[in-house]
Structure 1
Amino acid sequence: MTSKPTDETTTSSAVESVTDLERLRDRPDVQFHDETECVDSELFETLEGLDDMAVVGVTNGDGDVLLMRVTEECARKLPTPEVGPGEDYAAAARNWVESQAGLAITLDSLEGVWCHEARLEGTERTTTRAFVVFGATPGVDEDGVVETTAEHPEAHAVGWFAELPDDAAVAPGTRLFFE
């Protein structure tokens, strides 16, 4: 008898929870990428203070991908909420897309994990930042209309794109949705 991992519960193949990235490392259905680079003290201190990220590739029925600008100044990008220590990556992804883009979504797949380790040059000191990438679809009602969750989404601009714009910000895993 096989049991499901407790950090990744599925219902109708939807991803419900992701909290323990190490449990995903050896799963054959999850791409796991490790990258290490030596950095100077200024960059190390910056990276050390950053949270992990959930990257959400929301694809509609036409194959277009949701990109958004959270503020007027930022570039278009896939939804990318911060995930603090001990938080659930899947819950952060769903909640953020619902509040920022105003869309109900289903997380359909766990596309991969990108772990970036920074080593402070000349030392053994390291800090790691992870990007967990999900594939998702918008929720639709019985008439096939995309379900919204907020009358006034918080994002500055939200749109559907067939191709990745040249000026888009590219988080790890972004290109998976534009192949």
Structure 2
Amino acid sequence: MTGIRDPEELRDAPGVEFREQTRVVDETEFETVAAGAEDQSGLVVVGLTSHDGHLLLVDSEYIDGWTLPNGPVGVDEDWAIAADRWCEESIGVPVDVRAPELVVRTETRTESGDESVVGYSVVFGASLLRGMEGSGIGPTDAAPPGSGPDGSGGADGGASTGSGDGATSGDDGPPGPNDIADRPDLEWFTEVPDDAAPGHDALIRFFLD
């Protein structure tokens, strides 16, 4: 799906939940938000789920805690194309990004109420490409689903992604299944982790509930 330039077009779209919220911030924070809005329309988020309901989260170096794959969207950029780009950049392999499922419109206001700026978060669903779930990318029985780097994994402490028998990439080739399985910054979950990034737990819960 492409051609999504204005999230407002999704307000009454079938299968899309549209939420609205308001934030009141001080003048300093408002200036930061307003400056960012000059170059960005908001945040695109991708919920990558397996056939049995596991959700892939990312432990980003930029945010403290587990998040869904996400990234900023430039002004007039196609949201669907941005979703595909940021998801692949986050996990290293292409996936099947589907239609948007949730839009959150956030109006940020000053404490005085004299100024405001609007931004959007557009959340897309996604799945592994055909044949990938059994190749080392998808969840396995190597550890209980939802185990993370906090020591709650299997007996050997391994991640729940498993390594599988899929093809690996060479130093100059594209990422393969084992590149995903061996990455400590990626993990499959069936519950919202205790160490989810601040403000991201609601989006994670959207796919797991």
Shorter-chain-normalised TM-score: which range?
0.7 to 0.9
**CA displacement at 1:48 relative to structure 2:** 1.7
Partner residue, 1:49: 35
- For structure 1, which runs of at least 5 residues remain unmatched after alignment? 1-14
In the alignment, structure 1 residue 130 sits paired with structure 2 residue 106:
no
Q: Partner amino acid for 1:150?
A: P
**2:88 counterpart of 1:98:** yes
Deviation at residue 46 of structure 1 after TM alignment? 2.0
Matched, 1:85 2:75: yes
Identity %: 34
State the Cα deviation string for residues 28-86 of structure 1 (Å, max 9, x = none).
Answer: 43211111233210121122233311111000123110101221863111011111111
User: In the alignment, which residue of structure 1 is the partner of 2:204?
Assistant: 174
The superposition leaves residues 117-162 of structure 1 with CA deviations (integer Å, 9 ceiling, x where unpaired) of 0111224311112100111101134895359953567x87111111
Higher strand share: 1
In structure 2, stretches of 5+ residues that fail to align are 138-165, 169-173
Give the paired residue count.
164
The answer (yes or no) to whether the contact 1:72–1:156 under 8 Å persists in 2 is no
- Aligned AA (1:77): T
Query: 1:112 aligns to what?
Result: 102
Query: 1:54–1:142: structure 2 CA closer, same or farther, 3 Å change rule?
Result: closer
Match of 1:21 in 2: 7
SS of equivalent to 1:173: helix
Query: 1:93 Cα shift?
Result: 1.4
The alignment's C-alpha RMSD in Å is 2.6
Find the aligned partners of 1:166 and 1:91 in 2 and give their Cα distance: 31
Shift of the 82–165 alpha-carbon distance from structure 1 to 2, 3 Å rule, reads same
Once residues 104 and 84 of structure 1 are traced to their aligned partners in structure 2, the CA distance between those partners, rounded to angstroms, is: 21
- Normalising by structure 1, we get a TM-score of 0.79
Q: Which of 1 and 2 has greater Rg?
A: 2
Could you state the TM-score of these two structures normalised by the residue count of structure 2? 0.68
Residues 103 and 138 of structure 1 are in contact (CA less than 8 Å); yes or no, is this contact kept in structure 2? Answer: no
